[in-house]
Structure 1
């Protein structure tokens, strides 16, 4: 193992001593022949990024659908139950946080594990179905700052929110 490999492991796992391996395997199984074919096998940060970006992007787009298609409150609840983190209450707390920020004229929010800043889309969709137009306007003024272990995910988050409202580390 090269020094570069050890540094990369230390950055990703917090240690260069490998005690586990993150992996993602993609392929197919011929059900008639019982033969497995692996098309790709990713490890460490590449596996994490490939899985998590697909997972969170799918969720983010579902909330954008609620917003774009002007769906109802029940549609919002149904969406909450269909995404990775299936809790309505957590999203209500996030919306309440944004409303509290507005009431106190706070303009920045720091999120650990910000993934793709899906928080913005989740809260915006909820505020839309609740007809909270004023708070939706305030939401656009909030500076969302987050930290994520993947620089690729940080870059993707900034592409998904091109208005400059996000800053990822």
Structure 2
């Protein structure tokens, strides 16, 4: 079984989301896509919207279709997903095979997608930041509703210690 491991954390050393994606893909045949190392993803998305960058769109979509399962590492930055992850998703949606106009919820029907979402803060329902984590609902909506994947959530919250930098571990 081939697993597409997608990492979006800007940190390499000490990243909890990268550690979690590594844990979830341990012992598997892995194709690794490091979005943080891909400079210019947002520009590529803009090019696609304006009619270019089709080769990159096809390459990224082909990786998704070739994988038997997908593991997405998503640190929560500013209450949402990293820019590189948002751009990657936009590029995937630009591929006609993944575009919801071709059939909402059908492109990846039944394909397992594990969302490894990590945040420094906690977002408990009765807590002061309840509802502020926009990463989880967004990712679920895209992968489950738009693509039709079988989504599982692997959530790690509260990863930042009081003495640590607020960006230190996601």
TM superposition score normalised by structure 2:
0.33
The higher-RCO structure (CA 8 Å, 6+ apart) is 2
Q: Which has the higher helix share?
A: 1
